[in-house]
Amino acid sequence: MSALENTPVTIIGAGVAGLTAACALAQRGAEVTVLERAGALREVGAGLQISPNAVRVLAALGLWERFRAISVASKRVELRDSVGRQVARLDLARHRPKDHFRMVHRARLVAMLEQAAREAGVRIELDHEVGDLPEVPLLIGADGVKSRVRPALNGAEAPFFTGQTAWRALIPAEADAPGVAQVFMGPGRHLVSYPLGAGLRNIVAVVERPDWHDEGWSLPGDPADLRAAFARFGGPVPDWLAQVESVGIWGLFRHPVAAHWQDGRRALIGDAAHPTLPFMAQGAVMAIEDAWVLAACLDSDADQARALARFQALRQPRCQQIVDAANANARNYHLRGPTRAVAHAGLRAVSRMAPTRLIERFAWLYDYDPTAV
């Protein structure tokens, strides 16, 4: 019998982490309640790239067909310079044909997970902002970067501003938009764009600038500032930016991966445990991995404290590795002057002569199967 059968679990936060954990725990027999401060699970955050390491979890939850229907296949990733010339490409469809790399609107993913959670018997209490943490036998903090559960386990911590500010926008996708994620790299700035399905194209644009913005995702910015910051970019970028009508802006902060993920009674998952810079496109992916591994650990060991300790031991080193890789990418995308010329020439050569080498460098990331650990 599952160690989770009829076990009450309270989750704070109905984002990707909280809802995936709710599904995984409820499917194993737990009685799950999710407390979410928002009045409705509406759009926050726009587009997400979801790599095979997370798709394996969605499939194990029985959600592959639904996920496929709401997402778009990512055939390749193209790295381009600021005027649009190709520097390198990762041919995902060609070199990893069995793996699913997908692109999806966050709102559609959240809606899918919410429906699956409710079908598994999860109670979701919207409009329920948690102030003081409830005294319950098992509390999961899936409450994002400004978590209340994290300081209860780790004390107060101060993230530091990276000197980078990001804009995020949605525009209509061209009818024949190929399933390609493109990164345009210029000195001190880069822009990522990909189609999301449902007729939409996602744009994330990052610049280095010393003045900083709040860390929240939904501060409104001015599309004119975005266009001015990328005025020297070429290729499709000017056309895309001309279509931007509204834009969100926020500062990118670096947080350490939490030292303490659990205390035997409370545990952290997702951004609450390991907020990351977006440069590996793995924040939501790690949240999905966490959710499965947490449920599997609790399911296979009736000793909750031991199960939670095992969960942290399995997840912390991997998340640290991913967060470190995202920090390194932040530098690589924004190179200037001679360093940039040398790095781009090297990438061009590798991409041309050994096209599988770039993708093989990420085998540790994409080959990981959370359902097998």
Ligand X SMILES: Cc1cc2nc3c(=O)[nH]c(=O)nc-3n(C[C@H](O)[C@H](O)[C@H](O)COP(=O)(O)OP(=O)(O)OC[C@H]3O[C@@H](n4cnc5c(N)ncnc54)[C@H](O)[C@@H]3O)c2cc1C
* Residue 52 found at the interface with ligand X (CB under 6 A): no
Asked whether the beta carbons of 12 and 268 are under 8 A apart, the reply is no
Stretch that binds ligand X, among 62-70, 115-123, 271-279, 362-370 (CB under 6 A): 271-279
* Residue 45 found at the interface with ligand X (CB under 6 A): yes
List residues bridging with 79 in a β-sheet: 88, 183
Q: At what angle do helices 283-300 and 304-333 cross, to 10 degrees?
A: 170
Q: Closest by alpha carbon to 84, among 183, 181, 178, 169?
A: 183
Give the integer Cα–Cα distance in Å for 296 and 181: 33
Q: Please name the residue that has the structure tokens 């979701």.
A: 124
* Residue 34 found at the interface with ligand X (CB under 6 A): no
Give the integer Cα–Cα distance in Å for 155 and 280: 28
Q: Which is nearer to ligand X, 274 or 344 (CB)?
A: 274
Give the integer Cα–Cα distance in Å for 3 and 82: 54
What residues contact residue 224 under an 8 Å CB cut-off, 6+ apart? Answer: none
Q: CB of residue 185 vs ligand X: minimum separation in angstroms?
A: 16
Single out the residue of 10, 82, 282, 304 in contact with ligand X (rule: CB under 6 A).
Answer: 282
Strands in 263-352 per DSSP E: 266-268
Q: Which is nearer to ligand X, 309 or 323 (CB)?
A: 323
Q: What type of residue sits at position 149? A: V
Single out the residue of 22, 124, 183, 204 in contact with ligand X (rule: CB under 6 A).
Answer: 204
* Residue 12 found at the interface with ligand X (CB under 6 A): yes
List residues bridging with 35 in a β-sheet: 12, 125
* Residue 214 found at the interface with ligand X (CB under 6 A): no
Single out the residue of 186, 197, 251, 283 in contact with ligand X (rule: CB under 6 A).
Answer: 283
Single out the residue of 66, 148, 227, 348 in contact with ligand X (rule: CB under 6 A).
Answer: 148
Stretch that binds ligand X, among 41-49, 86-94, 314-322, 355-363 (CB under 6 A): 41-49
Q: What type of residue sits at position 264? A: G
Q: Which is nearer to ligand X, 159 or 301 (CB)?
A: 159
Q: CB of residue 63 vs ligand X: minimum separation in angstroms?
A: 16
* Residue 16 found at the interface with ligand X (CB under 6 A): yes
Q: Is 194 considered catalytic here?
A: yes
Single out the residue of 221, 251, 278, 370 in contact with ligand X (rule: CB under 6 A).
Answer: 278
Q: Closest by alpha carbon to 290, among 3, 15, 20?
A: 20
Single out the residue of 4, 13, 112, 241 in contact with ligand X (rule: CB under 6 A).
Answer: 13
Single out the residue of 32, 92, 122, 142 in contact with ligand X (rule: CB under 6 A).
Answer: 142
Give the integer Cα–Cα distance in Å for 179 and 275: 27
Stretch that binds ligand X, among 119-127, 156-164, 281-289, 339-347 (CB under 6 A): 281-289
Give the integer Cα–Cα distance in Å for 333 and 291: 30
Stretch that binds ligand X, among 36-44, 68-76, 83-91, 238-246 (CB under 6 A): 36-44
Active-site pick, 194, 333, 366, 368: 194
Q: CB of residue 342 vs ligand X: minimum separation in angstroms?
A: 28
In angstroms, the Cα distances linking 17 to 284, 300, 322 are 7, 20, 17
Asked whether the beta carbons of 110 and 15 are under 8 A apart, the reply is yes
> Which DSSP helix (H) or strand (E) runs through 47?
strand 47-50
Single out the residue of 3, 38, 177, 180 in contact with ligand X (rule: CB under 6 A).
Answer: 38
In angstroms, the Cα distances linking 43 to 16, 19, 40, 280, 372 are 12, 15, 9, 22, 32
Q: CB of residue 362 vs ligand X: minimum separation in angstroms?
A: 14
Give the integer Cα–Cα distance in Å for 265 and 305: 7
* Residue 270 found at the interface with ligand X (CB under 6 A): yes
Q: Which is nearer to ligand X, 280 or 297 (CB)?
A: 280
- Where along the sequence are the contacts to ligand X (CB under 6 A)? 12-18, 35-38, 45, 48-49, 129-130, 142-144, 148, 166, 168, 204, 270-272, 278, 281-285, 287
Positions marked active-site? 194
